Structure 1
Amino acid sequence: MASKIFSGLAVYFIFWWITLFLMLPFGVRSQHEDGELIAGTDPGAPVKALMRRKVIWTTIVSSVIYGVAALAYYSGLLNVERLSRLMGASG
């Protein structure tokens, strides 16, 4: 039972991390675009990273993705045999 919980958390963490990297570029304005250059920094550096907002949206989006994947797995739509056939590894 504990291994299923930890496996589920590991899969969620992977979804969360990938989603975070997908969310990072949204809403970023560089110093060059904003016209507020700070001496000693790169012009492409972001003015505001908005990380709190991105972490919240990452958690929401990754939870939805994980929920859909878990629903597909527990309903039998997503299993090892079906995935192996889709990947062309049927034996």
Structure 2
Amino acid sequence: MQITSIIAIYALFWVMTAFVMLPFGVKTHDEAGIPKIPGQADSAPANFRPGRHVIVATAIAAVLTALFVLNYVYGWIGADFLNLFEDLLSTPS
């Protein structure tokens, strides 16, 4: 596997992880007991920390990329393993 492929896979895992993590650990102003600014949306986060979000997404994406590359090298899970309908599609002899 080329390094450019690994970087592209890492970027995909990073973006996916960052978006999946967005709703976790965030509280609204009502939940945190902080007064809202006039005109602020009720769902606006009160404790969003983008730096921590980036660090956690980076770590998770690195682990997922490492597992993906190791699976590519050692072939732990292949296409034949994921074929759930093999018995249904095979014709009887």
TM-score range, shorter chain: 0.7 to 0.9
What's the RMSD between the two structures over aligned residues? 2.2
Total equivalences in the alignment:
86
Q: Match of 1:67, as an amino acid?
A: A
TM-score of the pair, normalised by structure 2: 0.77
Gaps of 5+ in 2: none
Quick one: distance in 2 between partners of 1:55 and 1:32?
A: 25
Q: Does 1:50 align with 2:46?
A: no
Quick one: distance in 2 between partners of 1:31 and 1:59?
A: 27
Give 1:85 shift: 5.6
Bigger relative contact order, structure 1 or 2 (CA pairs below 8 A, ≥6 apart): 2
Quick one: distance in 2 between partners of 1:17 and 1:31?
A: 27
Give 1:84 shift: 5.3
Contact 2:6–2:65 under 8 Å retained in 1: no
Q: Match of 2:8, as an amino acid?
A: A
Higher gyration radius (CA): 2
Give 1:73 shift: 0.9
Q: Identify the residue that residue 11 of structure 2 maps to in structure 1.
A: 13
What SS does the corresponding residue of 1:48 show, helix, strand or coil? coil
Quick one: distance in 2 between partners of 1:56 and 1:48?
A: 16
